[in-house]
């Protein structure tokens, strides 16, 4: 990108000469952490923002595309909107972990601003691109309809009254702060001198790790540490039913899926971190893999070398 892009975020004019993902600019440059980073590939909607009033996923947009645009995050809602959406989602029981909820709120605002009296079908259409991980969508639909009603009728929002009676329904104490993105998850914390960490993961679902060369990554300025299984004192295994899960795959051992960790890297910023990960050279011997439970039954290929593919078996009468 050449030149400077100028746009507004929550009615404040911003500019940048960096062509980076919009989510990275919002979170890491402006520190608007209501915009949640999850899938980072446009699939889940946790990073939803309003761009000129339209709900879009900020992980699929770049700053270069924002010239002259107006971006709204939950931090930019009016005080009235914050209180209404927080109240509606808490009252409907539409918040559990809260990670997806700020994105849901902005999808709801995008709908309600254009359609103050939406139908349940309208709500379902508006949030169809937003994945909820734990609450389920019925209560979220009820929350959006309640928010629309309160905004449409100008109803004042009052604090919930709980008398402490047995069997009384009570709102989650953290629901309102989670709904509008005020609650902090670990990735929302920025501390002085903070390092950024990430994993170098297996390129193959099943392969023997023949060697791991970290020398070039360790030599890169700004890299604080590059760790492999050889740096773990004691066993690299963990697990609940069985101690069968490798924290990192040691040289000579076999990966179990594409996400297995081969090395851990820590660096002073994200750009150096990603470059260091690319400099970690891993040599593999690809092996036949198992992709379904049905394939695993014959036991010809073991997912974990030490055990059969059946983790446990119980007979209930």
- φ, ψ of residue 3 in degrees (nearest 5): 85, -170
Say if residue 177 is in the same domain as residue 255.
no
Say if residue 18 is in the same domain as residue 108.
yes
- What CATH number corresponds to the domain at position 114? 1.10.150.120
- What is the spatial distance between Cα 145 and Cα 123, in angstroms, rounded to a whole number? 8
For the segment 147-159, what is each residue's pLDDT rounded down to a tens digit?
Answer: 999 999 999 998 7
The answer as to whether 258 is a domain residue is yes
Closest CA to 282 of 205, 198, 209: 209
For the segment 267-286, what is each residue's pLDDT rounded down to a tens digit?
Answer: 999 999 999 999 999 999 99
For the segment 159-193, what is each residue's pLDDT rounded down to a tens digit?
Answer: 777 777 888 888 888 999 999 999 999 999 999 99
pLDDT band at 136 (very low <50, low <70, confident <90, very high): confident
The answer as to whether 246 is a domain residue is yes
Say if residue 11 is in the same domain as residue 126.
yes
- What is the spatial distance between Cα 42 and Cα 46, in angstroms, rounded to a whole number? 9
Most confident option among 145-159, 235-249, 299-313? 145-159
Which residues, 6+ apart, have CB-to-CB distance to 41 below 8 Å?
A: 59, 60
The answer as to whether 152 is a domain residue is yes
Closest CA to 256 of 297, 217, 307, 182: 307
The answer as to whether 316 is a domain residue is no
- Is the distance from CB of 246 to CB of 257 less than 8 angstroms? no
Query: Is residue 64 helix, strand or coil?
Result: helix
- What is the spatial distance between Cα 199 and Cα 170, in angstroms, rounded to a whole number? 41
Mean pLDDT lowest among 15-24, 257-266, 306-315: 306-315
Residue 63, token pair as written in the block: 């700053």
Say if residue 64 is in the same domain as residue 143.
yes
Say if residue 20 is in the same domain as residue 123.
yes
Quote the pLDDT of residue 76. Answer: 97
Say if residue 154 is in the same domain as residue 127.
yes
- What CATH number corresponds to the domain at position 211? 3.90.1170.50
204: left (phi over 0), alpha (psi -120 to 50) or beta: beta
Say if residue 178 is in the same domain as residue 205.
no
Quote the pLDDT of residue 212. Answer: 98
Say if residue 250 is in the same domain as residue 266.
yes
pLDDT band at 2 (very low <50, low <70, confident <90, very high): low
Indicate if the pLDDT at residue 254 is higher than 80: yes
The answer as to whether 315 is a domain residue is no
Expressed as residue numbers, the domain containing 156 is 1-161+169-189
Query: Distance from first CA to last CA of the chain, Å, rounded?
Result: 67
- What is the spatial distance between Cα 120 and Cα 138, in angstroms, rounded to a whole number? 10
- Is the distance from CB of 37 to CB of 99 less than 8 angstroms? no
The answer as to whether 21 is a domain residue is yes
Say if residue 75 is in the same domain as residue 183.
yes
Return the number of other C-beta atoms located less than 10 Å from residue 280's C-beta.
Answer: 20
**Domains in the chain: how many in total?**
2
Q: How crowded is the C-beta side of 140, counted as CA atoms within 13 Å? A: 29
Alpha-carbon dihedral angle through residues 23, 103, 36, 91, given to the nearest 10 degrees: 160
The answer as to whether 177 is a domain residue is yes
The answer as to whether 120 is a domain residue is yes
Q: Cα 85 from chain centroid?
A: 21
Say if residue 151 is in the same domain as residue 17.
yes
Say if residue 6 is in the same domain as residue 107.
yes
Indicate if the pLDDT at residue 1 is higher than 70: no
Say if residue 14 is in the same domain as residue 127.
yes
Strands (E), the chain: 5-9, 12-16, 48-51, 54-57, 70-72, 196-201, 207-213, 223-227, 237-238, 245-246, 261-267, 281-286
């Amino acid at each position: 990108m050449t030149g400077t892009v100028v746009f507004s975020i929550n009615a404040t004019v911003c500019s940048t000469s960096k062509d980076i993902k919009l989510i990275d600019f919002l979170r890491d440059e402006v520190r608007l952490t209501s915009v949640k980073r999850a899938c980072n590939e446009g699939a889940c909607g946790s990073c939803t923002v309003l761009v000129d009033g339209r709900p879009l996923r900020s992980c699929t947009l770049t700053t270069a595309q924002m010239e002259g645009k107006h971006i709204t995050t939950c931090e930019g809602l009016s005080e009235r909107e914050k209180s209404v959406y927080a109240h509606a989602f808490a009252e409907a029981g539409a918040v559990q972990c809260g990670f997806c909820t700020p994105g849901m709120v902005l999808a709801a605002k995008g709908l309600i601003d254009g359609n103050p009296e939406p139908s349940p079908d309208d709500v379902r259409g508006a949030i169809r691109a937003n994945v909820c991980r734990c609450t389920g969508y019925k209560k979220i639909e009820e929350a959006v309809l309640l928010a629309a009603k309160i905004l449409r009728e100008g109803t004042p929002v009052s604090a919930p009254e709980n008398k402490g009676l047995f069997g009384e329904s009570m709102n989650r104490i953290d629901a309102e702060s989670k709904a509008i993105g005020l609650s902090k998850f670990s990735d929302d914390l920025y501390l002085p001198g903070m390092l950024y960490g990430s994993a170098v993961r297996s390129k193959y679902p099943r392969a023997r790790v023949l060697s791991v060369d970290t020398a070039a990554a360790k030599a890169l300025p700004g890299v604080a540490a590059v760790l492999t299984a050889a740096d773990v004192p004691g066993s690299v295994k963990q697990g609940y039913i069985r101690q069968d899960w490798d924290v990192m795959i040691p040289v000579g051992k076999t990966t179990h899926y594409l996400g297995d960790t081969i090395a851990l890297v820590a660096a002073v910023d994200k750009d150096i971190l990603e470059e260091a990960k690319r400099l970690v050279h891993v040599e593999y011997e690809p092996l036949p893999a198992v992709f379904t439970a049905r394939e695993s039954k014959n036991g010809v290929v073991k997912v974990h070398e030490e055990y059969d593919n059946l983790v446990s078996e119980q007979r209930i009468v």
